[in-house]
Structure 1
Amino acid sequence: MNCPNCHGSNLGKIGHQQFYCWNCLIELSVMNGKINVNEVEEDGSLSSLDDLFNEEDLTAQW
């Protein structure tokens, strides 16, 4: 799987079906083959970035 933002493969696993892209510093979670993209805010909360990507970019390809 590659990051839908930078298309890099420098992903670290942070939980069950949860990954972190070390290139663009976003969190990815995979649910039912669909990737959810979130930005980690300063207070630790997550902001969705899904609306910035099309459906094809958010389909998990292993």
Structure 2
Amino acid sequence: MNCPNCQGQNLGKIGHQQYYCWNCFIELSLDNGRIKVHEVEEDGTLSSLDDLFNDEDLTPKSYT
């Protein structure tokens, strides 16, 4: 799986089907075959970035 934002593979696993991109500092999660993209705010909350990507970008080509 590649990061839909930077296309990098520098992902760390942080939970069950949850990943963190060390290149662009966003959190990714897999939900029903789709990637959900979130930005971690200063207070630790997550803000969705899904609206910045099209459906093709948020469909993983392969699972890790």
TM-score range, shorter chain: over 0.9
Q: Structure 1 vs Structure 2: percent identity of aligned residues?
A: 77
Question: Unmatched 5+ residue regions in structure 2?
Answer: none
Q: Compute the TM-score of the two structures, normalised by the length of structure 2.
A: 0.95
TM-score using structure 1 length: 0.98
How far the C-alpha of 1:50 sits from its partner, in A, is 0.1
Quote the residue 1:48 is aligned against: 48
How many aligned positions are there?
62
Cα distance in 1 for residues equivalent to 2:61 and 2:16: 17
Aligned CA RMSD, in angstroms, stands at: 0.4
TM superposition outliers: structure 1 runs of 4+ over 3 Å = none
Where do 5+ consecutive residues of structure 1 fail to align? none
